[in-house]
Chains A and B, each alone.
Chain A
Amino acid sequence: MSSALRWLILRQIAGGTRYRLSRLKNPRYAVPALLGIGYFGLIFVGNVFRPGEANEARQVRDYFHVLVGPVFAMLFATTWLFAPARPAPLFTLPDASQLFVMPLTRRQLLNFRLLKAQFAILILSMLAGLFALRSADVKPWFAAASAFTLMNLMALNAMAASIVVNRILNAGLTRFVPPLPGVLMLAVLASVLAIQYQPIEFGQTNVLPWAREVFHTGPAAIVLWPFHQLALLPGAQNGADFGRGMAAAAGFAAVLYGLTMMLVSPFEERALALAENVGKVIKAKRGGNWASLALEKRKSLRSTSLKLAPTGKPWVAIFWKNVVAEWRIGTWRVAAVVAVISVLGVSVARVVGVNKGFWALVMGMSAAFGMMFTTFVPRLLATGLHLEIRRAPLLKALPIRGHDLLRGTAWAGALLSAIPLGAFATMAGIALSTGIEEGFEFGPYAVAGALPLGIAVCGLMVVLESGLVLMVPAWVVTNPGEAGVEAVGRNMLSFLVRFVLGGLLLSVPVGIGVGVGAAIWVAGAPGAGLVAGGLIAAALVALEVELMAYLLGIRFNSMEPGEEG
């Protein structure tokens, strides 16, 4: 690779590190950084002084060895399947716009791209090594080296796939052919696994022998052999496992790198288009509330049937603007599709008939994901105030009050969250009435009670997060373009506030709802009790949302436009 490109990478790392360190003099960066460092410290320092049990490690190693190989195979194949959506290596906009016109060969550019990722991969690998300290048997150095190797292989695989697809497109084969390599890979995997498929009793059968039978015998053993060797790396406890894994990785790397360098053809046009697209997305995200406007310029953006035609009160305008913008960005559309597929899948399982273990799994996962979703919904919003407040001067120039802004934002988040929450509640309801408590006919009532409460809680979470942004913007406002320990700290800060304040604010409404619901249940109408309890709690939480929006809106009204810096 060109020595100038190596110099560029080192200078950028040094410059970035220097810049991040120097800005820690400012409390707005120092406080989140301290929180982030504290968080990692709590995770890793404990590992250093309190190593885990040896038998735990052995079990982990067995699971890794048996199950990780097929996962790697799937990851590799799906990367190739989706490569047509990214038919060129991903460069940043400054890289693409400057390096592509310089006298550099395409191979030099590809090597630059691979080398540039090494610093981030190295940091993540060191974290993996620190994490391995918890195990008595897994060697931290093995874990770090394995993580480093595997992440590089993933990057190399993605690059090889994009280069092959680019070559296919350059040959004029734009229809059907580009996804073919990925389809073939997945077809081979599906075929060998179908041949050896055996039914499993969830919750009653030990997964390990079952997986060993399916993945490690017959044709699957042959097809997946290289991936099984790679799977020795993550939990490597001895030199033999590590050596075999590294040898397999070297083989993979040689094939993928060779393929990339051999098949490289002009990719600048597509790479620049990708870089510009990514640049637009980052710019749109930084713009927060105006993301939809910037995204409209993307060719791939589809129009939505949701029309931006707010009339009447200002908070309704904010509400509709947020709903339309979020819908356009696409995250919620994907969530809606996933929700519908999940509910359909569970419904089919109900008709087909599966065992109790499966329903316990559905119930547990629905509850866990539902709670996680409710907690993190404010951070999922591209139109959330943690992004939007950067536009405070523009917001202040609009004829809206803080109350309108918070009200519109909170209820838009609540409405959007209804689709995934509805799916989680429905799946939990089906699991509850089908497999957990046979004869329990109140599943639909439980869903009818839980769903409005969940939606109101999402609104509360959004308003709490927005309130925190208004009170201490310097500590909470995030910039999606900048990852790092400070972003972790900021997320933790907002999470803590939502967790503590949210818990306090929910205690009274939920307490009243449970009390009323229980009274009706005892009076002989269990279904009505479930619905009434949920609705009462939801209504009280909604009142709290309104009250919080009003109080925190006063802060927005008194805010100086440039206060968020």
Chain B
Amino acid sequence: MIEVHALHKTYETHQAVIDLSFTVSPGEVLGLVGPNGAGKTTTMRCITGILQPSSGHIVVAGADVVQDPVAAKRNLAFIPDEPHLFDYLTIHEHMQFYARVYNVADRDARASALVSEMELTEKLHALPGTLSRGMKQKVAIACGLLHSPKLVLFDEPLTGLDPIAIRRIKQTIKRLAAAGSAIIISSHLLGLVEEIATTVLLMQNGRKVLHGTLAQIRESAPDLREKGLEEIFLRATGYENDANATRETQP
């Protein structure tokens, strides 16, 4: 569904992403994790066509994001960590607009189902200014999923959500994957990634550090067999070694 080949992205002198390659197949949920500044958001933005790769190729549902961005974007949805909705459009109008852009055939039925799933029915005619952050996040998700995208990118999808909404969003992500969408989730919530991701890609300083299913990653390091993603993360990024070294040097 998505193929990333030798992606490089440089900002002036800073190399944000270095030689990154991976694929995500239909039904796969990729957890994109890494410390701050690892290059996760840059990678997501390159995939969505907002940023131009310095080199490399990104192919979404058979369309190259740089060569044929419109075709590629038709098949993807990007749910950013900070939802910026249109100030003077109601929730209902947001849904209508997305349906028009993506030319969704059964727009009313799909919109109604998503609004209900995100528990937005009562707020349908409210302006974004009157909504909480979590509600705005739900609106962004509902709008993004309206055209049944083949690839969905979530950037910190659970920020600002209450426990019930978190449960809902997790179920939605699982439902999307079961329906054949490829999913990429960038998150610092390693518990979430561990729970719903089928594969994990760990980045650090713009480079791929680990990639595979959790089982494969555990296989690669015998001492991590019984460990969770958090321990794997800390070990792979070198934090745990540094912390041990610091403890040993302390009197």
Contact = CB atoms under 8 A, between A and B. Distances in A.
Interface of A: 2-5, 7-8, 11-12, 14-16, 18-19, 93-98, 100-105, 170, 266, 268-269, 272, 279
B230 to A, nearest CB: 29
Nearest to A5: B101
A103 B74 contact: yes
Given A4-B100, A103-B74, 16 more contacts: A4-B97, A11-B88, A12-B86, A94-B85, A94-B86, A100-B50, A101-B48, A101-B49, A101-B50, A103-B70, A103-B71, A103-B73, A104-B70, A104-B101, A268-B51, A269-B50
Given A4-B100, A102-B73, A15 B88 contact: yes
Majority DSSP secondary structure for residues of A touching B: helix
A263 B51 CA distance: 19
Contacts of B24: none
Interchain residue pairs A-B with the least CB separation, the first 10:
A15-B88, A4-B100, A103-B74, A16-B88, A103-B73, A94-B84, A4-B101, A97-B84, A101-B78, A101-B48
A280 to B, nearest CB: 12
A101 B97 contact: no
A104 B48 CA distance: 12
A8 B97 contact: yes
Interface of B: 48-52, 69-71, 73-74, 76-78, 80, 82, 84-90, 93, 96-97, 100-102, 127
A455 B38 CA distance: 51
Of A4, A18, A94, A103, most buried by chain B (CB within 10 Å of CB) is: A103
A269 B52 contact: yes
Contacts of A266: 52
Contacts of A104: 70, 73, 101
Nearest to A266: B52
Contact of A105 (B70, B78, B97): B70
Contacts of A8: 86, 89, 97
Instruction: Please report whether the interface of chain B is mostly helix, strand, loop or mixed according to DSSP.
Output: loop
A5 to B, nearest CB: 8
A11 B90 CA distance: 10
A103 B102 CA distance: 7
A115 to B, nearest CB: 15
Contacts of B93: 11, 15
Contacts of A14: 88
A336 B85 CA distance: 39
A12 B101 contact: no
A105 B96 CA distance: 20
Nearest to A2: B101
Contacts of A11: 88-89, 93, 97
**Most chain A CB neighbours (cut-off 10 Å) among B69, B73, B87, B101:** B101
A370 to B, nearest CB: 39
Nearest to B100: A4
Given A3-B100, A4-B97, A12 B49 contact: no
A102 B143 CA distance: 11
Contacts of B49: 100-101, 268
Contacts of B97: 4, 7-8, 11
Nearest to A108: B70
Contacts of B69: 103
By CB atoms of chain B within 10 A, which of A2, A15, A98 has the most? A98
- Among B77, B88, B93, B96, find the residue whose CB has the most chain A CB atoms closer than 10 A: B88
Given A4-B100, A11-B93, A98 B50 contact: no
A50 B218 CA distance: 87
A7 B100 contact: yes
A268 B88 CA distance: 23
B84 A93 contact: yes
Contact of B101 (A19, A102, A268): A102
A480 B85 CA distance: 19
Nearest to A100: B50
A403 B85 CA distance: 41
A15 B127 contact: yes
Nearest to B143: A98
A269 B84 contact: no
Contacts of A279: 84
Given A94-B87, A268-B51, A103 B80 contact: no
A98 B48 CA distance: 11
B88 A19 contact: yes
A105 B68 CA distance: 10
A103 B48 CA distance: 10
Contact of B84 (A2, A19, A98, A102): A98
A103 B127 CA distance: 25
Contacts of A170: 52
B136 to A, nearest CB: 11
A5 B69 CA distance: 18
A279 B80 CA distance: 16
B55 to A, nearest CB: 13
A268 B69 CA distance: 12
A103 B87 contact: no
Nearest to B85: A94
Contacts of A5: 101
B123 to A, nearest CB: 15
9 contacts: A8-B86, A11-B88, A11-B89, A12-B89, A15-B87, A16-B87, A97-B82, A105-B70, A268-B50
Contacts of A272: 50
A95 B101 CA distance: 13
Contacts of B96: 7
B88 A101 contact: no
A279 B90 CA distance: 21
Contacts of B76: 101
B17 to A, nearest CB: 13
B128 to A, nearest CB: 9
A54 B201 CA distance: 77
Nearest to A105: B70
Contacts of A16: 87-88
B110 to A, nearest CB: 16
